Structure 1
Amino acid sequence: MRPLWYRNAVIYQIDPTLFRDNNGDGCGDLPGITERLDYIRGLGCTAIWLMPFYRSPFKDAGYDIADHLAVDPRFGDLTDMVALLEKAEELGIHVIAELVVQHTSTEHPWFQEARRDRNSPYRDFYLWADEPDDSIEPIFPTIEDSVWTWDDEAGQYYRHLFYHHEPDLNLENPRVIEHIERIMAFWLRLGVSGFRIDAASHLIEQAGGGDPEKGYWLLEHIRDFVTLRRPEAVVLGEIDVEPEQYMDYFGEGDRVTLLLDFWINNYFFLALARGQGEPLHKALLRQPEPPRRAQYAIWMRNHDELDLERLSDEEREEVMQTFAPDPDMRAYNRGIRRRLAPMLDGDERRLAMAHAVFFSLPGTPILRYGEEIGMGDDLSREERLSVRTPMQWSNEPSAGFSCAPPERLVVPVIDTPPFDYPSVNVYAQTLRNDSLLAKTGNMVRTRIGLREIGEGRCCPVEVDQPAVFAVRHDADSTVLMLANLSDQDVRVAVRDDDLEDFVDLLADRDYEQPTGHPLRLHLGPYGYRWLRRKQQLFGG
């Protein structure tokens, strides 16, 4: 059977607006991404996830789409998208596009037609009411008071779970589904390797008329439609629910291919906050095993707030107090609007350790642009915009992101220490063998070679040090991965009976080889080690 490419992939998440400006107008664009695909491949990543590049008024970073079949002029045109896809294919990089069909922009022609005439065939593309039902909470409670907004032209309220400029689509309407099929067919024919389904859990509720149990058919339909046209393509779902509900979204391997794992993400940060491995160990044990042709997708930080809703109130406050003590660092009464590096005080040892824990988790890793160099945030920007700043390529003006004058940049670069672009950039770290960029690249490339992680079974490993996170991945060989979440030297005894005769594949520094039974290892402050049995060293 042909290997599933996503089993041992590492996905690099790109915001087209902020990655690289090729034409000097101050805004990132598709040719800029194409130009830097070699960098992404050199890092070791085998896929990219492109945030929205569609025509949009950009009131919500492009998630407010006005035309799903057009490239927004700020990014180029369709020929630029084709060039990007061709270069990616040459380099062996898969391209995942956004499928944002839970809502549209109010500027979308469908909505404009719908609001003008109650008898328009587009009227039923959206959800309308004469009287608002306020039983549904808005997704952004500190920004929107209700999920209903009155439209004078329509003479009714329209529903929007997110912002008021993003009306919800009526996904029970077969004609809406036909249009979604056209969107998917168009981009699949151009060569994308699948879609990230935005707000997938809300999508299902809408498809079921408010009942998720009646809406899972839509995931099955999307998966069938995609794989019949491009068998290797994936459906990556944004699904923030309790882990016991994950199997509903996996189905029998016939719904989402990859499920964005908010559960593990939350407990990753609880483990970092406590400096202990136990929260992650417990979270892994509670999480169901995905079906054979499906997998989790994991990440540290993404383009949104760090949403901590899977934690208890006490756990959430513990993470908040550790990583967002200032109320200005928080968002929507549930999350943190900071990048990883500022949360960890810019400590490269601690950042490298966090990356080592991240890459040791089961699932397909998603690395957000700039995470590999420890980029910072800009808290002067509102809401989630604080973590959306231009990529810092060099110490040249405007961070090498653009040759436009600073006042023309679509977003200001970070120019205040300690995360200012002269201090934190790709070029400076490329010159250092011990930089976070070098260490991250080593982890990415090593992990891709470890088929045990993609194909095997992951189990937490019992150790005698609370600060140590340890897991094993077993296929027909075994990989043991450990990380010390504390700033103290530790000696670790690994208690699993069958773990012996291991050697290092990757570590934060040189260590003496582990010996004895139980297996005994040394880890320095924020140290990490990935090991494999000697006789299996060159397996796979």
Structure 2
Amino acid sequence: MTTSSQPGDREWWKEAVVYQIYPQSFNDSDGDGIGDIPGIVEKVDYLDDLGVDVVWLNPVYESPMADNGYDIADYRSIHPEYGTIDDWERLLEELHDRDIRLIMDLVVNHTSDEHEWFQRSRQGDPEYDDYYYWREGDPEEPPNNWESFFGGPAWSWDDEREAWYLHLFDEKQPDLNWRNPDVRDDIFDMMTWWLDKGIDGFRMDVINLISKTEGLPDGETGTPATGTEHFVDGPRLGEYLTEMDERVLSNYDVLTVGEMAGGMTAEDAEPYVGRDGPLSMIIHFEHVHADVGEDGKWDIIDLDLDELRSSLHDWQTAMVEDGWNCLYLDNHDQPRAVSRFGDDGQFREESAKMLATFLFTLQGTPFVFQGQEIGMTNTTFGDPEKIRDVESENFLEAALERGESFEDVRPLLEARSRDNARTPMQWDDSEYAGFTDGEPWIHVNDNYTEINVEAARAEDDSIWHYYHDLIELREERDVFVYGDYELLAPDHDEVYAYRRTLGEEELVVVCNFFDGEPTVEFPVGQGDLLLGNYPDSTDGQDGSLELRPYEARIYER
């Protein structure tokens, strides 16, 4: 099937490359072991050299850091360990001076339990009484059987109010009650405050959890959490997002990226994106579940290329008429893609480049997570004391309660823990990878002496330069952005291949996802090799292509 994009509907965010910064682990300017905003300012020229167009900044708001900043205590203050609002304003200015835009993380499904709204709500302040979901009852029996995404009941008993409160994540992250119009007013006022300061949009954390079924009934047991049918894509989600768009977003030229937890499909997403939708694009999870078993995140299976290809093909075809795709493999919640979908040993460079080829040549906006551009890998946990991620801590605690040992589940943690993405950015081969002069808040990956920015930039054929070349190609050629998409070799066991066409421009992209040497039977047709991840890749000929492990080629016809 061939899909047809709409080149006439140009938007700056369609043509952009987004670079995600996890501030706690990016660059520490003051030696306290925690990355900070002045540290990001120090690296703005690096971002400019790489060629990115947008920075997505993970939360830098005031927070007790129960979930690394996704538990916000004050939406309009900067967390002291990250700096000050003046530091933030300097960062915005430095980015804008280089024509790099900034989008902020919007976390409004929940707050911290240390937020003033929750503190006043638990005290029974009439103005904030129902800002959250409170239920009275037996302190030994939660109001329903819903489960937290982090494990355990989604309810905690509060002794001060003598009632249960709902938290779909950590107990220090109580869910906001979006049914209350005052909650929506306060959130929309806060969003407007940030947009008036000059930011260029929002990445919206688990935004499809903000609507819950009336009455909060029991749910069916399942994964990833019991009750999801009552709090994922809830009944008033479209209404709330439309109101957000009408009252706030439509007044600005912004990029809005909605993270949709659960099993949102391309068909489900269509009402939320496009010309009449409230969002620019959606972060979905279908394709990153291609190596996840029936029991959820910690159930690891081999990569199912058919599932990966089928999912992405559905999104490519569904979004083309009136929508847009968010293209990602890495982020702060996912393990490192080169370890997960590639080979972080013998073929690390080849597989990292193959995954980059794949990321940049589908229809959509590519998102690059810090360190991805140098092929950073998953880490190791020789000691459970190294774990920092609350989700991983909860998983380990539950395993120990079942009688398992740390060594029993260590392989799962090393494959799936969010800490894999959160180890410090590897800038050079000095102590602590050049991230800090102090003791880092989380351990540095042992391979930093070989894998680091300084070494990558010094090597002409490195992963870093490959990313740089892809970014330049995407900027120069509209076919990368607005070209039609056509799936090729749809049943191949090892290769994902497709064609992109725009007018007389045509690209054929071929990606081998495994370490074998498959043959692909389809006509490339005397194509010129535009880019490949092996130095001696050849021009295309009619008939077949013989590929090497993790080989990727882009042909131009």
TM-score relative to the length of structure 1: 0.83
Alignment of 1:63-78 (within 5 A): 63-78=70-85
CA distance in 1, matches of 2:461, 2:313: 34
Equivalent AA in structure 2 for residue 470 of structure 1: A
Task: State the match for 1:393 in structure 2.
Answer: 427
Residues 281-313 of structure 1, C-alpha deviation per residue, up to 9 Å, x if partnerless?
322343352265631212112212x4xxxxxxx
Task: State the match for 2:324 in structure 1.
Answer: 295
Contact persistence 2:55–2:101 (CA under 8 A): yes
Over 4 Å off, 4+ runs: 206-211, 272-277
Task: State the match for 1:325 in structure 2.
Answer: none
Residue 219 (1) aligns with residue 244 (2): no
SS of residue in 1 equivalent to 2:149 = coil
CA distance in 1, matches of 2:292, 2:527: 29
Task: State the match for 2:472 in structure 1.
Answer: 445
Of the candidates 484, 495, 507, which is equivalent to residue 512 of structure 2? 484
- Seen in structure 2, the aligned counterparts of structure 1 residues 411 and 466 have a Cα distance that, compared at 3 Å, is closer
Alignment of 1:237-316 (within 5 A): 237-243=259-265, 244-250=267-273, 253-267=276-290, 278-287=306-315, 289-290=318-319, 294-304=323-333, 306=334
Equivalent AA in structure 1 for residue 520 of structure 2: V
- Seen in structure 2, the aligned counterparts of structure 1 residues 370 and 521 have a Cα distance that, compared at 3 Å, is same
Equivalent AA in structure 2 for residue 295 of structure 1: W
Equivalent AA in structure 2 for residue 401 of structure 1: F
Residue 368 (1) aligns with residue 369 (2): yes
Alignment of 1:282-431 (within 5 A): 282-287=310-315, 289-290=318-319, 294-304=323-333, 306=334, 338-343=335-340, 344-346=343-345, 347-376=348-377, 377-379=379-381, 380-382=386-388, 383=392, 384-404=418-438, 406=439, 409-414=440-445, 416=446, 419=447, 421-431=448-458
Task: State the match for 1:434 in structure 2.
Answer: 461
Of the candidates 538, 548, 553, which is equivalent to residue 524 of structure 1? 548
Q: Which moved more, 1:73-82 or 1:98-107?
A: 73-82
Contact persistence 1:464–1:494 (CA under 8 A): no
Q: CA deviation at 1:187?
A: 1.0
Task: State the match for 2:51 in structure 1.
Answer: 44
Task: State the match for 2:86 in structure 1.
Answer: 79
CA distance in 2, matches of 1:269, 1:510: 35
Equivalent AA in structure 2 for residue 240 of structure 1: G
Q: Which moved more, 1:178-187 or 1:3-12?
A: 3-12
- Seen in structure 2, the aligned counterparts of structure 1 residues 234 and 78 have a Cα distance that, compared at 3 Å, is same
Q: CA deviation at 1:218?
A: 1.2
Q: Once superposed, what is the RMSD of the aligned Cα atoms?
A: 2.6
Equivalent AA in structure 2 for residue 339 of structure 1: R
SS of residue in 2 equivalent to 1:5 = coil
SS of residue in 2 equivalent to 1:63 = coil
Equivalent AA in structure 1 for residue 530 of structure 2: L
SS of residue in 1 equivalent to 2:126 = coil
Q: CA deviation at 1:463?
A: 7.0
Equivalent AA in structure 2 for residue 95 of structure 1: L
RCO higher in 1 or 2 (8 Å CA, sep ≥ 6)? Answer: 2
CA distance in 1, matches of 2:380, 2:304: 29
CA distance in 1, matches of 2:212, 2:113: 21
SS of residue in 2 equivalent to 1:170 = coil
Contact persistence 1:16–1:29 (CA under 8 A): yes
SS of residue in 2 equivalent to 1:86 = helix
Equivalent AA in structure 2 for residue 526 of structure 1: Y
Of the candidates 209, 220, 225, which is equivalent to residue 202 of structure 1? 209
CA distance in 1, matches of 2:553, 2:173: 46
Of the candidates 112, 121, 125, which is equivalent to residue 119 of structure 2? 112
Residue 514 (1) aligns with residue 529 (2): no
Of the candidates 241, 248, 252, which is equivalent to residue 230 of structure 1? 252
Residues 108-131 of structure 1, C-alpha deviation per residue, up to 9 Å, x if partnerless?
0111111112x4211111110013
Of the candidates 133, 157, 175, which is equivalent to residue 143 of structure 2? 133
Residues 254-306 of structure 1, C-alpha deviation per residue, up to 9 Å, x if partnerless?
22211113112333889x986785433322343352265631212112212x4
- Seen in structure 2, the aligned counterparts of structure 1 residues 457 and 286 have a Cα distance that, compared at 3 Å, is same
Q: CA deviation at 1:203?
A: 1.6
Residues 169-204 of structure 1, C-alpha deviation per residue, up to 9 Å, x if partnerless?
010111111111111111111111111111112124
TM-score relative to the length of structure 2: 0.80
- Seen in structure 2, the aligned counterparts of structure 1 residues 475 and 443 have a Cα distance that, compared at 3 Å, is same
Q: CA deviation at 1:359?
A: 2.4
Task: State the match for 2:128 in structure 1.
Answer: 122
Equivalent AA in structure 2 for residue 410 of structure 1: W
CA distance in 1, matches of 2:243, 2:42: 35
Unaligned runs of 5+ in 2: 1-7, 217-229, 294-299, 393-417
CA distance in 2, matches of 1:130, 1:222: 31
% same residue: 31
Contact persistence 2:499–2:509 (CA under 8 A): yes
CA distance in 2, matches of 1:185, 1:291: 30
Contact persistence 1:161–1:168 (CA under 8 A): yes
Q: CA deviation at 1:426?
A: 0.6
CA distance in 1, matches of 2:168, 2:34: 29
Equivalent AA in structure 1 for residue 184 of structure 2: I
Equivalent AA in structure 1 for residue 344 of structure 2: D
- Seen in structure 2, the aligned counterparts of structure 1 residues 277 and 151 have a Cα distance that, compared at 3 Å, is closer
Equivalent AA in structure 2 for residue 147 of structure 1: A
Residues 476-522 of structure 1, C-alpha deviation per residue, up to 9 Å, x if partnerless?
23221111223344443325xxx634222111223332233x5x444
Unaligned runs of 5+ in 1: 307-337, 534-540
